[in-house]
Structure 1
Amino acid sequence: MPENTVRRRTLMASAASAAAAAAVAGPLSLPASAAAFGYGDDGSHYVVNTGASLVFKVSKANGDLSSLVYKGTEYQGYGGKNSHIESGLGASTVTIRQSGPTILISVTYKTLRLYYAARSGENNVYIWTNKADGTVSATRYIVRVQAGKFLNDQPDSYTYAPTLIEAKDVFEKSDGQTRSKHYSKLRVIDYDYIGWSAGGVGLYMVRSNHEKASGGPFYRSLLRHQSADGGGIYEILYYGENQTEAERFGLQGPYVIAFTDGGAPSSSLHHANIDTSWADSLGISGYVAAGGRGRVAGVGIAGRDTSYPYTVGLANSAAQYWGSARDSDGYFSITRVLPGTYTLTVYKGELAVHTGSVTVTAGGTTTLHTITVPSSNDPSNASAIWRINDWDGTPGGFKNAELMTYAHPSDVRAAPWKGNVVIGSGSETSAFPCYLWKDVNSGIIVYFRLTAAQLAAAHTLRIGVTTAYANGRPQVVVNDSWTSAIPSPPAQPSTRSLTVGSYRGNNHTFTYSVPASAWQTDASAYNTLRIYVVSGSGTTSYLSAGTAIDAIDLLE
């Protein structure tokens, strides 16, 4: 069989066919451009040459991606491990076929379907995963990268951090800075791809639209890691840490392993732009073409606080989507939505301020009239005597808030977690810690004065939180004379959060009715508010019960 034959059949018996199969394997040690687009079989793997600069192998036994050779250099693998779903599948049925300029490898493992696709002339591997139910563990795809290819000292690296300080995944460097694969800094809405670039080579994972993932637009999960042993880049299909939603099932993808000459992957691969019409007829299980999807468009959002970005989310048990509202008028458009009825949520920052319902039909556009956010739905609109931070569903602006998305609370760069706050000082927000823990800084004091008229009345105190660990919640004491009841813990994720870069759980507001008898009688004297973290769970230090703060205010 000629070497330039586009499609090479497998299991050939003749000597001529064997020579052709050997020619397919040859590009693994030569520049990939030396062979045309096509595939072959080396006995244990299907070998795909993209006809550009990439040759990759997929195991015929279990669907592992066992080789990624770009411009003659192998990038895949460390510690004897391949790239694969979760920690790898067991014995699977693996098939391959070519449809014109596309090669599709299909992997069947119990109720799971995994697909790899290559397009002629592209240095990309397109991947889809269809997890039909919970009988198969497949919550991530990890591309394992050889040691030394992309060494770095970013927050999600632990190459230079030899001291283990929490679980098996948080490390401390000799200079006191912390590193962990969890410290990506990014929410899902913030990125289109993740990876590295070094020496004129870029290796990236371009994420899918996450329609079958969980957690919404502001969810954080690990995206990559790097150590002296090797690196990994991920597409997280479902991540249980600090997760607020149930797992969704169905087809996820495509997500794309993309090689470049050092630059960013093409924007045409981004989830918002990608055209997969070439995959419409490939028979991918669960695949819904563009014509079977719909769109939601809103003419505007009234009642916004224009100092904040607004996001509109759609979610039901089968899928999730979101889009940004235009700053000028709140216009939004969410495309490529699977048909169905969804809960529509409007977020001010990350705080839900409006919910409704919308139905999407295949091939249609559902147009919504102006959505008006009721004034009462935004807690910032309530008249307050004093307020620490503003209500936006995040601890942003509080002490250490930005650092905590990419560092451990013990990090040397963190400002002291203790320290009291004086209303009227001008530094109320920046001095107040973003997180409170039972074993670290419980009992922080807020000092404030009230006028004679204010002292004569009862007032409502509100404390907004964004997540909690080990059922940590605030109990307050006013002037050492009035103590609130211990509030019931709201529903929150049960996993680690505050120590692995995530403050996003379920936003909740605690309210306390403080009687007039609790205040000082002298308007010139400071009142004291002590905020304690209470819980019967948790361990010690930064793994004691804790909570992340959104805002605190005392209402008129």
Structure 2
Amino acid sequence: MPGSGSGAVPRRTVVLGSAAAAAGAALAGPLAGTASAAGFGWSDDGTHYVVDTGAQLVFKVSKTNGDLTSLVYRGTEYQGYGGKNSHVESGLGASTVTLRQSGPTILISVAYGTLRHYYAARSGENHLYLWTHKADDSVTATRYMVRVKAGMFLNDEPDSYTYAPTTIEASDVFRKADGQTRSKHYARRRVIDYDCVGWTTGSVGLWMVRSNHEKASGGPFYRSLLRHQSADGGGLYEILYYGENQTEPQRYGLQGPYVIAFTDGGAPPAALFPGTLTTPWADALGISGYVPASGRGRVAGVGIAGRDTAHPYTVALANSDAQYWTSARASDGWFSLGGVLPGTYTLTVFKSELAVHTSQVSVSAGATTTLNTLTIPAGNDPSDASTIWRIGEWTGTPSGFKNADLMTYAHPSDVRAAPWTGNVVIGGGEETSAFPCYLWKDVNSGLLVYFRLTAAQAAAAHTLRIGVTTAYAGGRPRVTVNDVWTSAVPAPPAQPGTRSLTVGSYRGNNHTFTYSVPASAWLTDSSRYNVLRIDVVSGSGTTGFLSAGTAVDAIDLLV
């Protein structure tokens, strides 16, 4: 058990996002830059390259397969659990591994088929810089995993299953004795929400600082594995591509740098964070696919008109080769995106996670593409429509719905979840919090919504809209009004084919279902409640929380 054993003391752990990490960066001290450090150098013990950064960090890389086999900081070994090393994916196999020193930089290169992986050490720094270049799909290189010995850190956060012995789904979702659930999938954070992930004892911190994800897939709101801990030890991840709940194809090319960083208990220096880190010292190292700052451009926008200032806005660029994003300034929508590879991109403006504007933009090396005020076209934000009633807000998320926040870090069966059943009455002011964020065919299909209409409203046909953020096993809503009118079964929109709702992610492809309800379906007595029944239909899925299901964005009845 982590923290147990002779002389062991309890350890604590934290995961830091951008703001918290930046606030704690001063604790870690500045980067060493190119300063020379006593002890910096490397040796060959016959089976490994052994590198001493001169900053109390010594690591070993296997000359056979490129695994990181040892990670010693201040005399303590942190690497390894269950007889496994730290490596790309689950290990590459026989590779060609070479080392080259260039002044205060040591670069270890690993060649495995078309894949290239790199470790770089800098004199006087207790950090290890990594790049991975994947040229095609001949190699399943989707992640780098730092494997940490048991007992070094304690993690009983949602992304841990150290103290959760009961398996409740597949082999990766667990229940503790108190009914709370744990899984390596329950990381809470979207990519846009964090710069680093790791653990600290208060005197030693071990962190994975993510790359800018320009060659990853899924965009700014993607959720994937960040870390985990079990009885055997812990893992820190940099996900290069993960097939679960993916909304777009894999990108190829160089991913990185991402950084394994040790500190004296605080967060890593903010200078290591994506968007801040610069590596001019790597420009001439010959890293495959490396593009220096001089080969990149910038996109800047003076503002965004037509925003709903109650919500944050994100501007993203994407094409088949790369992706980037940044937050728009709350006051006026100003934004600036640097370090962009040359090319033509689709620019998307998101209100929270809902796309409300798209356009095309071209980027050239060494230049800034300046955009005039972007105006969100009328009708692109579904919130602009006049409604008789609305449940939730159109944000591309199930935010505000029952259990919505919990579902980013727990299984739907978690003891903390409110009942998934229960009907909703319009007009009481608690419609959204009473409506479950997820609907499943085998759990709460057939949910009822009660509402009144005026005589004038009941005399006309109306459009009902149901927005969803993802679906599992083709789940989609069919509606019935007052048991006299039932909609056709809508066609299923394109959605990821893997688990989503049970592994902490509501993010798929936002889609709006529209239903034209005839006037003949409404009750003409304005004192009586109309009854809307929402069923989940699909021929796929299994049972319970793995039956066909969908996540709800908003539901409204238009004027």
TM over 0.5: yes
Q: Post-superposition shift, 1:118?
A: 0.2
Q: Post-superposition shift, 1:34?
A: 11
Q: Post-superposition shift, 1:48?
A: 0.2
Q: Give the counterpart of 1:485 among 484, 488, 495.
A: 488
Q: Does 1:507 align with 2:521?
A: no
Aligned to 1:346, what secondary structure does the other structure show?
strand
1:87 partner amino acid: S
Query: Is the CA contact 2:118–2:130 (under 8 Å) kept in the aligned structure 1?
Result: yes
**Residue deviations 1:20-51, cap 9 Å, x none?**
xxxxxxxxxxxxx9961000011100000000
Give the Cα–Cα distance (whole angstroms) in 1 for the partners of residues 171 and 129 of structure 2: 32
Query: Is the CA contact 1:124–1:258 (under 8 Å) kept in the aligned structure 2?
Result: yes
2:51 is matched with 48
**Residue deviations 1:476-511, cap 9 Å, x none?**
000011000000000000000000000000000000
2:343 is matched with 340
**Residue deviations 1:215-235, cap 9 Å, x none?**
000000010001111000000
**Residue deviations 1:53-91, cap 9 Å, x none?**
100000000000000000000000001000000000111
Give the Cα–Cα distance (whole angstroms) in 2 for the partners of residues 153 and 546 of structure 1: 29
Cα separation, partners in 2 of 1:66 and 1:201, compared to 1, 3 Å: same
Q: Give the counterpart of 1:323 among 322, 326, 331.
A: 326
What is the 5 A alignment of 1:142-541?
142-541=145-544
Query: Is the CA contact 2:202–2:266 (under 8 Å) kept in the aligned structure 1?
Result: no
Q: Post-superposition shift, 1:534?
A: 0.2
Q: Post-superposition shift, 1:199?
A: 4.8
1:28 is matched with none
Q: Does 1:135 align with 2:123?
A: no
Give the Cα–Cα distance (whole angstroms) in 2 for the partners of residues 137 and 211 of structure 1: 18
Q: Give the counterpart of 2:88 among 85, 90, 95.
A: 85
Unaligned runs of 5+ residues in structure 2 are: 1-35
Aligned to 1:523, what secondary structure does the other structure show?
coil
2:416 partner amino acid: R
Moved over 4 A (4+): none
2:158 partner amino acid: P
1:84 partner amino acid: H
- The percentage of counterpart residues that share the same residue type is 80
1:61 partner amino acid: T
Give the Cα–Cα distance (whole angstroms) in 1 for the partners of residues 144 and 313 of structure 2: 31
1:78 partner amino acid: Y
- Figure out how many residues of one structure are paired with residues of the other and give that number: 524
Give the Cα–Cα distance (whole angstroms) in 1 for the partners of residues 186 and 327 of structure 2: 25
1:242 partner amino acid: N
Give the Cα–Cα distance (whole angstroms) in 2 for the partners of residues 425 and 543 of structure 1: 32
Q: Post-superposition shift, 1:521?
A: 1.6
Aligned to 2:174, what secondary structure does the other structure show?
strand
**Residue deviations 1:358-417, cap 9 Å, x none?**
000000000001000012000000000000011000000000000000000000000000
Larger Rg: 1
Query: Is the CA contact 2:37–2:55 (under 8 Å) kept in the aligned structure 1?
Result: no
1:257 partner amino acid: I
Give the Cα–Cα distance (whole angstroms) in 1 for the partners of residues 409 and 536 of structure 2: 24
Q: Does 1:552 align with 2:547?
A: no
Aligned to 1:357, what secondary structure does the other structure show?
strand
Give the Cα–Cα distance (whole angstroms) in 2 for the partners of residues 241 and 201 of structure 1: 33
Q: Does 1:104 align with 2:125?
A: no
Give the Cα–Cα distance (whole angstroms) in 2 for the partners of residues 223 and 452 of structure 1: 54
1:143 partner amino acid: V
Give the Cα–Cα distance (whole angstroms) in 1 for the partners of residues 312 and 291 of structure 2: 31
Query: Is the CA contact 2:37–2:53 (under 8 Å) kept in the aligned structure 1?
Result: no
Give the Cα–Cα distance (whole angstroms) in 2 for the partners of residues 401 and 125 of structure 1: 37
Query: Is the CA contact 2:37–2:123 (under 8 Å) kept in the aligned structure 1?
Result: no
**Residue deviations 1:327-365, cap 9 Å, x none?**
111000000000000000000000000000000000000
Q: Give the counterpart of 2:78 among 75, 93, 98.
A: 75
Query: Is the CA contact 1:151–1:228 (under 8 Å) kept in the aligned structure 2?
Result: no
Aligned to 1:89, what secondary structure does the other structure show?
coil
Give the Cα–Cα distance (whole angstroms) in 1 for the partners of residues 338 and 448 of structure 2: 48
Query: Is the CA contact 2:411–2:503 (under 8 Å) kept in the aligned structure 1?
Result: yes
2:288 partner amino acid: S
TM-score by length of 2: 0.93
Give the Cα–Cα distance (whole angstroms) in 2 for the partners of residues 199 and 492 of structure 1: 43
Aligned to 2:379, what secondary structure does the other structure show?
helix
Aligned to 1:359, what secondary structure does the other structure show?
strand
Give the Cα–Cα distance (whole angstroms) in 2 for the partners of residues 296 and 549 of structure 1: 33
Aligned to 2:294, what secondary structure does the other structure show?
helix
2:274 partner amino acid: H
Aligned to 1:286, what secondary structure does the other structure show?
coil
Give the Cα–Cα distance (whole angstroms) in 1 for the partners of residues 328 and 558 of structure 2: 30
1:387 partner amino acid: R
